[in-house]
Structure formats: structure tokens, C-alpha cells
Structure 1
Amino acid sequence: MHSFDSNDFSYDNYRRLLTFLDNEYEIFSFKDAYRLGAKILDVPRFVILRHDVEFSVKGALALARIEHELGIKSTFFFLQTSDYNCFDRHEAERIREIISLGHDVGLHYDASLFEDMKVDPVVAAKLQIKLFECFFNVKVHAMSSHMPMRSGKAFSIDGVIDTYDPLYLRDIKYISDSNQVWRENISTKGLLEHQQIHLLLHENTWSDDGLSIFEISLAEAFEKFQKHHTNALKYNSMVKVGLKNRAVKDNEFKKRYFSSN
């Protein structure tokens, strides 16, 4: 039996956790859960493995690569209203790599934001799903609410699993690592008390050196600052070059868009 330390949030310990789970349970993604439906309860021992990506697509990719090394597939739920941008070139390339590794992707939506903006949550979520499916050429099988305790209004979309449906929250044991605070006994012995588990692991919980959640947040903020600073310098340089060639570029633009055939 592979033992792991519930207080260690390093990638090495993440590997130990997954190896233990893989030896003791059948591991499903929510794509598998979609295929099985309620019949999933007929499987005697399983873990549905899910990731709500809160801050870092880079961190999500790190988990995806580790799981791929171990032959494990899971579902990564991405926010379209976070401080990362799924459709930024670099972030999109990372998401596409996650998909290429065989993982499933889903929508992580912010219901409280929908309420604050006074938009229809069903319409908004459907549009976000459609955009994600179109941009990444995938089928979204499930959606996950961001911090569901902040919003009292639940909603559903036909043909899309809600990860907080009673089937996955009541009939199956739900365990999460939110903010590096396990709400259950996550020891090997504690896990084995449950036959069917819905396991939520966040990308901002784990790191190479097992940093605290505060240290991970600071490192992520600094990396994003560096990225924006570099982009600002590139943009300023591009503007200077563009101004020098403005007349030429204006003429080229007019020829492309206004010249008659």
C-alpha cells in the first residue's frame, strides 16, 4: 500500500495519493460518469476525479501531466470569468495539451456573478459551454459551480452533468482539498472506509515544493505580473514601430478593405 501524507501538498505526494487510489479504486472522469449515468453506482469501488481550476492553467497542466504519467484521466473545469483567460494564446495551448493527454474538460461557472450581473444563468452557461466547445473542439459533459455556497440559486442544463447533483454529492462520498484543508480523514485508512468517492482536487493546492496556499498565490500573482509587464513592453515597442510606418500601413489597410474588385 502506498502511504501518503495528508499535510504534504507537493507533487511527489500527489503522485503517491494517485498511485494509492489507482491501486484501490477504478478512477473515472466526469466523461465516464456521463457515459455511465446512475449505473455508476453499480461499480463497487471507484473515484470520480475532478479539478476546479481557480487561478492557474499552468498549475492545472502540471497535474494533468502527472496523471498522464500514471495512466489516469480526470476532468478539468475551467472558469471563463477568472483572472486567467482560457482564450489567451498561451493559456489555450496549455488547455489543448491537457485535452491531448486524454483528459476531459468542463465548465466552471460563477453563479453569483450571473446573479450580480442580472443575466439568465442557464443562457449564460449554455453560451459559455458553446464557446468552449467551439474553440477547443470538444464536447462538454459536465459543469461545476464556483464557490456554490455563495449562490442560493441552483440550475441545470439538459445533457450536462451538474457535479453538485445529489447523485455525486449525497449518494457518492464527496471529498475536497479546498485551501489545503481536508474536510475528511484523507489518510489511506480513512479513504478505504468509502467505496465510492467524488474527489475534488484544486490546481492551486499543489506545487513542486509543497508550498502553502498563501505562497502559491503569491508566486502565481508575481508570475502574472511578469507576464503583463513583458506584454506591455512588447506593445509599446510595437506602437513605436507602427507610428513610424503609419502612412504605409494605412494605405495597405485601405487597399484590403476599400478597394473595388
Structure 2
Amino acid sequence: MRDFTLSKYRELLETILSADYLPMPVHDHLVAPAERSVILRHDVDREVGRNLAMAHLEHRMGIRSTYYFRHVKDVFIPEAIREVASMGHEVGFHYEVMDKAKGDKQKALEIFKEELEDLRKYAQVTTACMHGNPLASWSNRDLWADYDFRDMGLIGEPYFSLDYSKVLYLTDTGRTWADRKIRVKDVLEECSGGSNGKLACNVRTTDDVIRLVKSREFAQICILAHPNRWCDSMSGWTKELVMQNVKNVGKAGIIQYRKISGERAKSRIG
């Protein structure tokens, strides 16, 4: 079976349930964490229709998860936001305000407040998660070095609020579960020790994730799956594969360039 299809995602969900994990949204984990659970998180980056298909699949299986909506034209669709919320899923804010403000934190905070208020017209929003732009020299989470998201009535931000010394973090960034050198912004600030320190690069495919879940080795897991990558139709699946492979080459180049630039800067200082 092809990987990164909705059918394969269904198989992953069935495994989570059969292994006696409790699937839950980010909000629920922060409010009442379960001893054995899988936190399901989705970033609504594009292809809203595929996000709705995944949301309906989870709903039919009695599963609730988190959908983080960007505030951009092709994603911020009130009807889609309401539909996701009506199924019991958590709707969160996928912010990219530092990008929109070109690194100006005060302006970014103003945009954050405006867009959060706009999203709250269509759903209750209690958590937010940054969107990563590999081309930007800053990260959207840099905003919280000077401000506190809790002042906006939010209880958490996954990159800050989850305890990754206890929670294993798995992400399909780059259309692979492997920790290849293609993650520019979707990285943990601290992942030494604990579950993430133990995990090597053995997890590459969804079948690997399924085997890991079946092993029940980790009590708490956070899975980030971008629904735009999961498609059953051959045409859509192939287009996504080709597009992501091109992106991965570019991201690998960015990481290598910044690494070399950093080493040169250190040598000049030394």
C-alpha cells in the first residue's frame, strides 16, 4: 500500500486504538493528560478539502484531534472552520505573524491579536502553534521571547507547552517521519534525554510509526500529520510527492548554507 494516503492514516488510527492509547487534542492533554495517550495535531497549511476529509475520518472513528488554521486566503474559510469544530475537534491558531511583520515583534503582536480575534468568531480557540517559513531568518515563536501568549487567553503552544522529556514527538514534515536534514523550523528547542533523545532515525515510513505504536514502548506520543500530504487519489498523491521532493532539496540547501555561515562567523570571532 502507498504511504501518505488517507487509507494508510486510517490504519495508523486503528493501531492507536487497538494498542489502548487514548487519542486526544492538544487542549485536552494540557488540561487533563492521560497516562497512555497520543496527541493528534494537524497544521492546516493548504488543501482545506484534504483537512476536512481527515477530520471526517477521525470523527467517524470517534477520535478528536487539533486542527491549526493559518490566517491566509485559501485556508481561512469560515465554513471549513465551523465544520471542523462541529465534529468536536479542537480548532487552533496556526500563526505566522513574525513573517507578516518582517520580524517586527510589536507589529507581529498586533497582527496576532487581530487574527486570533477573527478566528474566534467561528470557533473556541485556546491553543496556538507557530507556522514555519524556511526562508525567513526568524522563527514565528520568537515572538514569545518578549510577550506571553497566555495574555491572549491561550493555555498553550505545542512547541513550548508539551513536556518533550516525556512526550515522543513524531512529524511528517518533509513527507517523511525520518529526522532527515530537511527540518528548518519544525524542530524542538530542547529534546535531549527522554523519549526524543532515545529515538534514532529508524522511523521513516508510516508503517514504522505503526510498529512503534504497536510496541507500546512510549506512554505519550505527539503525532503531527499535515493533511495536505495525505491523499488517496493517484494524481493528487503523485503531485504532492513531486512537489515535496523539490521542497526538500531546497530546505536541505538552506540548512547547509546556514550551517556553513555559522561556522564561518564563529571562526572570525575566534
Deviations 1:147-175 (A, max 9, x none): 17753414141142111015344431111
1:60 paired residue among 43, 51, 55 = 51
Aligned partners of 1:11 and 1:210 also within 8 Å: no
1:187 maps onto 2:209 in alignment: yes
Describe the SS at the equivalent of 2:120: helix
How far is the alpha carbon of 1:85 from its aligned partner?
A: 4.3
Assess, with a 3 A threshold, how the Cα gap between structure 1 residues 205 and 85 changes in structure 2: closer, same or farther: closer
1:133 to 101, 120, 142: 120
Aligned equivalent of 1:110, options 96, 107, 110: 96
**2:68 corresponds to 1:46:** no
Change (3 A) 1:26 1:148: farther
Distance of 1:213 and 1:187 partners within structure 2: 20
Secondary structure of residue in 1 paired with 2:149:
coil
CA distance in 1, matches of 2:170, 2:47: 21
**AA matched with 1:123:** E
**Partner residue of 2:79?**
93
Q: 1:117–1:214: structure 2 CA closer, same or farther, 3 Å change rule? A: farther
Number of equivalenced pairs:
202
In structure 2, list runs of 5 or more residues that go unmatched. Answer: 179-200, 244-270
Offset at residue 212 of structure 1 (A): 7.2
Query: Over alpha carbons, which structure has the higher Rg?
Result: 1
Give, in angstroms, the shift of residue 190 of structure 1. Answer: 2.2
Q: Is 1:208 aligned to residue 232 of structure 2?
A: yes
Relative to structure 1, the CA distance from residue 67 to residue 211 in structure 2 (aligned partners, 3 Å threshold; closer, same or farther) is farther
User: Matches of 2:35 and 2:105 in 1, distance apart?
Assistant: 42
**1:52–1:98: structure 2 CA closer, same or farther, 3 Å change rule?**
same
Question: Do residues 198 (structure 1) and 189 (structure 2) align?
Answer: no
- Residues 73-92 of structure 1 correspond to what in structure 2 (within 5 A)? 73-81=64-72, 83-86=73-76, 91-92=77-78
1:35 Cα deviation from its structure 2 partner: 2.3
User: What is the alpha-carbon root mean square deviation over aligned residues?
Assistant: 2.6
CA 1:28–1:148: 2 relative to 1, 3 Å: farther
Q: Distance in 1 between matches of 2:101 and 2:226?
A: 25
What one-letter code is carried by the residue in structure 2 that aligns with 1:165?
F
Pair 218,154 (structure 1): closer, same or farther in 2 beyond 3 Å: same
The aligned residue for residue 122 of structure 1 is 109
Q: Secondary structure at the match of 2:129?
A: strand
Q: Is the 8 A contact 1:176 1:200 kept in 2?
A: yes
Q: Could you tell me which residue of structure 1 aligns to residue 10 of structure 2?
A: 15
Question: For residues 63-99 of structure 1, what are the alpha-carbon distances to aligned partners after superposition, in whole Å with 9 as ceiling and x for unaligned?
Answer: 0010011000001000003x5141xxxx322222111
Asked if 2 retains the 8 angstrom alpha-carbon contact of 1:10 and 1:211, the reply is: no
Deviates more, 1:27-36 or 1:60-69: 27-36
Q: 1:194 to 1:50 in 2, by over 3 A?
A: same
Q: In structure 1, the residue corresponding to 2:4 is in which secondary structure?
A: coil
Q: What CA distance in whole angstroms lies between the structure 2 residues aligned with 1:101 and 1:167?
A: 24
Who is 1:32 aligned against?
28
TM-score by length of 1: 0.69
In the TM superposition, residue 117 of structure 1 has moved relative to its aligned partner by 6.2
Q: CA deviation at 1:122?
A: 3.0
Counterpart Cα distance in 2 of 1:173 and 1:29:
15
Q: 1:122 to 1:67 in 2, by over 3 A?
A: same
Q: Secondary structure at the match of 2:226?
A: coil
The Cα shift of 1:115 comes to: 4.2
Q: Is the 8 A contact 2:24 2:40 kept in 1?
A: yes
Q: Which moved more, 1:143-152 or 1:170-179?
A: 143-152
Amino acid corresponding to residue 29 of structure 2 in structure 1: A
Tell me, in whole angstroms, the C-alpha distance in 2 between the residues paired with 1:99 and 1:17: 23
Give ranges in structure 1 of 5+ residues lacking alignment.
220-261
Query: Which amino acid in 2 is paired with 1:110?
Result: E
